[in-house]
Amino acid sequence: MLGVVAWWKWLMLSWAFFLLMPWLINHFFARFYSHTLIDPARRIVVLQEARKGRWKSLIGLHLINSGIIGLCIAADGWLQAMGIGNLHGGPLGLRGWLLFVPQVLLVLIVFDTQFYWVHRAAHAWPMLYRRLHRDHHVDRFPDTWSAMKQHPLDLFLTTAMPMAWVVLLPIHEITWLAALLLANYINLVGHSRFEVTRYLPGLVTPNRLALRQDPYRHGIASWVNTVSTC
Ligand SMILES: [Zn+2]
């Protein structure tokens, strides 16, 4: 799949990342989890003012950022073609299915490690925060589109770069793709305006801190991040 760099492959993945998934999650949660909307009263008052000019800046950023994601997918193709990448293709097979969950978790851990340290540095170093990361936190009442509001260099360091070098892992390309989409889903849910983490769609982001804020959480749900504590 990634042996040859085909423009339509990265275009489809970028499209799924930046347009389809945020739109679907926004609508799905609004339809089925509207009762979990965070702070609805304050949201209505502040929303109109806060959203002025939002789409203009989002469209520009999406165009640049999807180009960056595209370049990293192209780098994946190049690494594979040069024999440096370790992704393998063909049918998933029994071995692939058995290893599917462990390999997805491996990708998420590797992916999240880089994300965590870059994100932490962006918050710890004031100059970096001002220049690279502040705009991401400007929305006071975020939704899934806010997840994509990211400085291109911030996006490159936290998201696009790991997408490229994760191909060094010896995993199946379907597993690789599934893990990337899952990572994006977790990211989008974390920025959504709905507190869904005690329900099925949110059971993918671990953090015991959540339990303190939400006494209704129990079992596996007590180990997941909440949207309000992200
Ligand atoms: Zn941050």
Predicted confidence at residue 180, as pLDDT, reads 86
| Domain assignment present for 1 | no
Q: What is the mean pLDDT of residues 158-168?
A: 86
What would the pLDDT profile of 190-210 be if each residue is shown by its tens digit? 888 887 766 655 555 444 455
CA of 223 from ligand 1 middle (Å) equals 21
- Do residue 187 and residue 202 come from a single domain? no
Q: What's the domain range around 90?
A: 7-193
Encode burial over 156-168: b for 16+ CB neighbours within 10 A, e otherwise: bbbbbbbbbbbbe
| Domain assignment present for 157 | yes
Which whole-number Å values give the CA distances from 121 to 5, 118, 183, in the listed order?
Answer: 33, 5, 20
Predicted confidence at residue 217, as pLDDT, reads 59
- Do residue 51 and residue 146 come from a single domain? yes
CA of 26 from ligand 1 middle (Å) equals 21
**SS3 call for 39:** coil
CA of 28 from ligand 1 middle (Å) equals 25
Predicted confidence at residue 206, as pLDDT, reads 45
**SS3 call for 189:** helix
- Do residue 85 and residue 188 come from a single domain? yes
CA of 199 from ligand 1 middle (Å) equals 25
CA of 83 from ligand 1 middle (Å) equals 36
Terminal C-alpha separation, the chain: 34
| Tokens coding 113 | 């490690």
Tally of domains within the chain: 2
pLDDT band at residue 5 under the 50/70/90 scheme: very low
Name residue, tokens 């609508």.
27
Q: Are 10 and 69 in contact (CB under 8 A)?
A: yes
- Do residue 61 and residue 120 come from a single domain? yes
What would the pLDDT profile of 60-77 be if each residue is shown by its tens digit? 888 888 888 888 888 888
- Do residue 135 and residue 224 come from a single domain? no
Of 91, 68, 84, 102, which Cα lies nearest the Cα of 166? Answer: 84
CA of 118 from ligand 1 middle (Å) equals 10
Average pLDDT, the chain: 79
CA of 40 from ligand 1 middle (Å) equals 23
Name residue, tokens 């978790």.
105
What would the pLDDT profile of 81-123 be if each residue is shown by its tens digit? 888 888 887 788 888 889 999 999 999 898 889 998 999 999 9
Beta bridge partners of 206: 224
| Domain assignment present for 2 | no
DSSP 34: G
